Amino acid sequence: MDTVVKKKISMYTEAAYLLGLLFLALGTAFMDLANLGMGMVIVPGYVIFLKLSQHFSFFTFGTTAYLFQLVLLILLAIAGRKFRLSYLFAFMSAFLFGCFLDLFELLVLKIPCETLPARIVFYTVGEIFCAWGVSFMFHTYVTPEVYELIVKEVSRKRQWNINRVKTAYDIASVALGIILSFSFFGFGRFEGIKIGTLICALINGPMISVCSKANEALFEFKDLLRLRTFFEGIENEGEDAGQPDGEADP
């Protein structure tokens, strides 16, 4: 019996990039609505936003998110003693994410969400959108946000396993969020860091994997613009110069 081959839907990788940012922003807005804790890497920026918004009304969540990533980029450039062109595009991604996030915050935060069941539902929806957004970003060549860029840069420069670097970065982000929360709001106050943050840490990886497999089964990803070589070139810039600073992680 012949196997029926399902025809996949064509999806441009550039569209996957925009969808990834949109889904990440929408998912983050839903998680903010649920108030059960933010995702790991967004926690420090969210805590800073909560503090600044008490004194400066013009500081939005999205604005704080991309400005925080700008600070991370500057620290990365100082640590590496070099500014790479990929950093500029990473900030572009962070800026677009921040703009999309502010737009969705205006819409999503108007939704009634007072009961615990409603909060759980909206948090679940937010987590699904975030995982789906990351899976779309896996299928594009455009430089991702600063969070992902830092993981790639550290693992590349130190020749460490990227999954372990990602785990360490997530833990460091939550630790920084806790320090900022205690400093801004008092010892024992976990603002933005709640049960949802722990759940996100446990299920985020498997959910991204499921979403990626679904995307690959449904879509055929291909480039619309001839820019892949350019972006791959700026991401690999300087990789052959010098020797690695550390031993490879098996």
Q: Are 14 and 225 in contact (CB under 8 A)?
A: yes
Mean pLDDT along residues 184-209: 86
What are the pLDDT digits (tens) for 3-51? 555 678 888 989 999 999 999 999 999 999 999 999 888 999 999 999 9
Q: What pLDDT was estimated at residue 5?
A: 54
Reduced to 3 states (helix: H, G, I; strand: E, B; else coil), residue 11 is: strand
Reduced to 3 states (helix: H, G, I; strand: E, B; else coil), residue 96 is: helix
Cα–Cα dist 155/149, whole Å: 10
One DSSP character per residue, 53-74 reads TTT-TT--HHHHHHHHHHHHHH
Q: Are 188 and 165 in contact (CB under 8 A)?
A: no
Q: What pLDDT was estimated at residue 94?
A: 93
Cα–Cα dist 127/119, whole Å: 12
Query: What tokens does 70 get?
Result: 């700008």
Q: What pLDDT was estimated at residue 249?
A: 38
What are the pLDDT digits (tens) for 92-113? 999 999 999 999 999 999 999 8
Count, in order, helices (H) and strands (E) of the chain.
9, 2
Cα–Cα dist 95/72, whole Å: 13
CA 88 distance to own-chain centroid: 16
Q: What pLDDT was estimated at residue 145?
A: 85
Does residue 161 have a pLDDT over 80?
no
List all residues 6 or more positions away from 213 whose beta carbon is below 8 Å from its beta carbon. none
What are the pLDDT digits (tens) for 49-105? 999 988 888 889 999 999 999 998 888 888 877 777 888 888 999 999 999 999 999
Q: Are 118 and 112 in contact (CB under 8 A)?
A: yes
Say which DSSP state 249 is in.
Answer: P
N-to-C CA span, the chain: 44
Phi, psi (deg, nearest 5) at residue 235? -75, -30
Does residue 175 have a pLDDT over 80?
yes
CB atoms within 10 A of CB 177: 26
Determine the residue type at 153: E
**79-83, 166-170, 186-190, 238-242: least confidently modelled range:** 238-242
- Calculate the average pLDDT of the chain: 84
Q: What pLDDT was estimated at residue 198?
A: 86
Q: What pLDDT was estimated at residue 242?
A: 40
